[in-house]
Amino acid sequence: MAQAVPVRVRPSAPYLARKHAANSLEIRPVIGGHAVTEPSDGASPPLLSEGNSLVFSDGVWVDSNFGAGLDYSDGDAQERELGRILHEASDRRWDAASLARNHNDWALEYHLSPLRANILRGLTLKDRKTVLEVGAGCGAITRYLGDQGFRVDAVEGSAARAQLAALRCHGLEGVSLVQANINDLTLPAATYDLVLFVGVLEYAGRFLRDDCSAETAVKKMLSQAVASLTPDGVILVAIENRIGAKYLCGFSEDHLGRPWAGVAGYPTFLGGDAGIRTFDSAQWVNMLESMALKHRFFYPLPDYKLPQALISEGASRAPGALAVADRFGPVSRSGDINGAAPVRLQQAAFHDACLDEYFADSFGIVVGAASGVVEEVLAHQWIVFDRPWVGQPQGLCLRVDEQKPRMFAGQSRQEPLPSLPSGEPLLRFWLRHAAATPDREGLTQLIAAHYQQMRDQGLTNDAGSLLVDCDGRLLPECFPWPDDLSFSKLPDCASWLEDALDRFLVYAGADLSFFPALKDLDSPAALVKQVMEAVRDNDQLSREGGEEERSPYIGAESPAINLTHVAIYWAGIGEEFSEERCKSQSYQLEGRQRVKLALSHNGEQIGRLRFDPSNHSPRFLPNKLVLEALTIYTEGTEAEIDLLRAFSVSECKSNDLQITTENDQIQLQILGPDPWLAFDLSLLGGKLISHPARVEAVMFWIA
């Protein structure tokens, strides 16, 4: 007997109705009120076919006893538009660039965005292959699972959404769409390696149909899922935190569109809203421990709906975790962003007090029968995800028990990168001081001082990647954000300041309106003007008091600048050097320094190389160094090209340098503000320099 499932078309879905009417010219048999069609060759019966009465129609398997379907929707207009987009799309893969574009509509973005898959991409699933997805929606995560080769039973209660999910997953043999209420199905025992409840369990009390509490409804659904797990199987829950920081600051509850409802515990007098409920971390721990289940939390950022990063439980003090947590601020999914308190400042305070995990806006929870199984699924302390559909092919991650980050590109293992700098993000530092300043002048002077330090040290990196130490001094090393691994360079100091303040006002958002000294801030231009005036005043005072008396540091006692900017420029044969082909980094002007700079390139022939040992003029001491090594390491072969050979064959040109050799040492005396060495590489390796990987220099500064 052919198993089948119909398409149930709601009267409120005219696009889908027209589509199915066009494809339904023949007379079909009816089972349980559903028009039946034969499964196509690519339609796999779901693993839960046994024990359930399912019929097939137009790509969806339906519980023949289901009835009218579950009543929830993002709106008829949105579902019609989703149907049109998916029907016309030539590429429906999970990361299709055409579907990832900005749709200017939250429902469309949520159901189409590739970011949805990141809730799974951060997990280590190894040999797990069978998945039960409860609440498939319109198939964004379902499509990701199918593209990765998983065998998926995707259960969706809405007829219209089930149809849209089937359209999204058309052609994937391992994916079966099932229209049903999961509470009415009999799940096969010990069958699934992974069960997903992504944005589902907050509705458990509404759709269980039993007269029980929300907690009891959640535990019943989890018990049903646990019985269906294989011995190494796990459950993934993704859900909002009832007392997330944004809710404590008065953001509207994502489901109900009103502030404070979740914080108040969802009182029963809300009437028609009864049954929707989220939980805090203590409530989750109590529920899971009462079921003797092991679990680990992780925290999707900014939330589980469109995660761009995650931090695992207990990893908020790992190297780089502060920068990652601070990068992705809170978002409102209800359209109301007018909070009653400064949410970014409060999140910073929670982190500093080691309370951030309790007040994360979203939870991811990995649940299983054994601790070892749960632990192996979360193999990263944190991840910043890649976004190849917008030109960011790699992300960044820190694995468990490691201190050095790696590039993140799906599940492929990458080589470790240099250690992460340890400091507070500059914009976060500005925000904290903006909250405490008694007048706008305090913030103005702070930003002006950082601007002067940036200018004097040549730190042209954008403010979003800069860090400060505990005294507010800018660190020479930046955080290596994967959306710009070469670090964004700005053409001049004025551009840096304008960009930095623009970033700050976007970062701080509505927080500034809560600070008495800044609540009447009219525009970024007004703040830029005040900072520039403060910079000019400080420069005037410095000139009157002597150049050497001015310190670029916040709270610094020593006037000496002890950092310099080291740069490598490269060009083709006969080409001029330019800022577009330059890598630079700050290093100390003392002792022995090893400089490593990777060259970005597109496979072009590199004919000329320029080495700038310092951007400081002779008045900054020391101004003499011994150049102990200057080497290119080529890609793949790791072959070495010793550039210091150029001194012996007279192929080196220089500027603002006096070069001497003594006892086989090459000494450089800096004579002016623009010291550099330039090499003609065509005589030093031929084909070996077609694809240089990095340049390393070893310098010893002489006091």
Q: What is the pLDDT of residues 458-511, one digit of tens each?
A: 777 889 999 999 889 999 888 998 875 444 556 677 778 878 888 888 898 788
Instruction: Indicate the pLDDT class of residue 283, thresholds 50, 70 and 90.
Output: very high
Contacts of 26 (CB under 8 A, 6+ apart): none
- Give yes or no for residue 12 having a pLDDT over 50: no
Helices (H), 61-132: 76-88, 97-100, 106-112, 118-121
CA 467, CA 474: separation in Å to the nearest integer?
6
Relative to beta strand 130-134, strand 192-198 is parallel
Mean pLDDT of 221-225: 96
Strands lying side by side in the sheet with 608-612: 582-588, 563-571, 608-612, 676-680, 652-655
Closest to 325 measured CA to CA, from 349, 289, 293, 295: 349
| 407 compared with 564, residue with greater pLDDT | 407
**HEC per residue, 196-235:** EEECCHHHHHHHCCCCCCHHHHHHHHHHHHHHCEEEEEEE
Q: What is the pLDDT of residues 552-577, one digit of tens each?
A: 334 333 333 456 778 888 887 778 88
SS3 content of the chain, % helix, strand, coil (to 5): 35, 25, 45
CA 307, CA 640: separation in Å to the nearest integer?
42
CA 8, CA 159: separation in Å to the nearest integer?
5
CA 342, CA 509: separation in Å to the nearest integer?
9
CATH architecture of 76-379: 3-Layer(aba) Sandwich (3.40)
Map residue 260 onto helix, strand or coil: coil
- Give yes or no for residue 334 having a pLDDT over 50: yes
pLDDT attached to residue 646: 64
Task: Please answer whether residues 345 and 508 qualify as being in contact, where contact means their C-beta atoms are separated by less than 8 angstroms.
Answer: no
Relative to beta strand 30-31, strand 657-662 is unpaired
Most confident of the following: 95-104, 249-258, 278-287? 278-287
Q: How far is CA 327 from the centre of its chain?
A: 8
How much is the mean pLDDT over the chain? 81
Map residue 380 onto helix, strand or coil: strand
Instruction: Indicate the pLDDT class of residue 549, thresholds 50, 70 and 90.
Output: very low
Tokens linked to 576: 């001029």
Mean pLDDT of 335-353: 87
| 221 compared with 526, residue with greater pLDDT | 221
Mean pLDDT of 578-596: 76
pLDDT attached to residue 360: 96
Where are the chain's structural domains?
76-379, 424-549, 563-702
CA 607, CA 408: separation in Å to the nearest integer?
32
Helix (H) or strand (E) holding 346: helix 343-352
Mean pLDDT of 140-146: 97
Relative to beta strand 151-156, strand 130-134 is parallel
Q: Which of 468-472, 615-619, 691-695 is the least confident region? A: 615-619
Task: Please answer whether residues 511 and 342 qualify as being in contact, where contact means their C-beta atoms are separated by less than 8 angstroms.
Answer: yes
CA 197, CA 361: separation in Å to the nearest integer?
17
Over pLDDT 70: what percentage of the chain?
79
pLDDT attached to residue 15: 31
pLDDT attached to residue 61: 94
Judged on CB neighbours under 10 Å (0-12, 13-18, 19+), 149 is exposed
Mean pLDDT of 282-311: 97
Mean pLDDT of 224-253: 95
- Give yes or no for residue 188 having a pLDDT over 90: yes
Instruction: Indicate the pLDDT class of residue 443, thresholds 50, 70 and 90.
Output: confident
Q: What is the pLDDT of residues 51-87, one digit of tens each?
A: 899 999 888 999 988 766 676 777 788 889 999 999 9
Helices (H), 417-573: 426-436, 440-457, 493-508, 524-545
CA 196, CA 79: separation in Å to the nearest integer?
23
Q: If phi over 0 gives left and psi between -120 and 50 gives alpha, with beta otherwise, what is residue 104?
A: left
Map residue 21 onto helix, strand or coil: helix
Mean pLDDT of 525-533: 74
Tokens linked to 627: 């150049």
Tokens linked to 245: 């920081």
pLDDT attached to residue 665: 76
Map residue 410 onto helix, strand or coil: coil
Closest to 107 measured CA to CA, from 72, 134, 142: 72
| 519 compared with 94, residue with greater pLDDT | 94
pLDDT attached to residue 347: 94
Mean pLDDT of 648-663: 75
Mean pLDDT of 166-175: 95
- Give yes or no for residue 412 having a pLDDT over 80: no
pLDDT attached to residue 579: 74
- Give yes or no for residue 180 having a pLDDT over 50: yes
DSSP state of 422: -
Residue 140 CB neighbours (<10 A): 21
Instruction: Indicate the pLDDT class of residue 703, thresholds 50, 70 and 90.
Output: low
- Give yes or no for residue 551 having a pLDDT over 80: no
Q: What is the DSSP string of 264-333?
A: TT--GGGGGGTT---B-HHHHHHHHHHTT-EEEEEEEES-SSS-SEEEETT-TTSTTHHHHHHHS----S
pLDDT attached to residue 563: 64
Q: What is the pLDDT of residues 46-58, one digit of tens each?
A: 999 888 999 998 8
End-to-end CA distance of the chain: 90
Instruction: Indicate the pLDDT class of residue 635, thresholds 50, 70 and 90.
Output: low
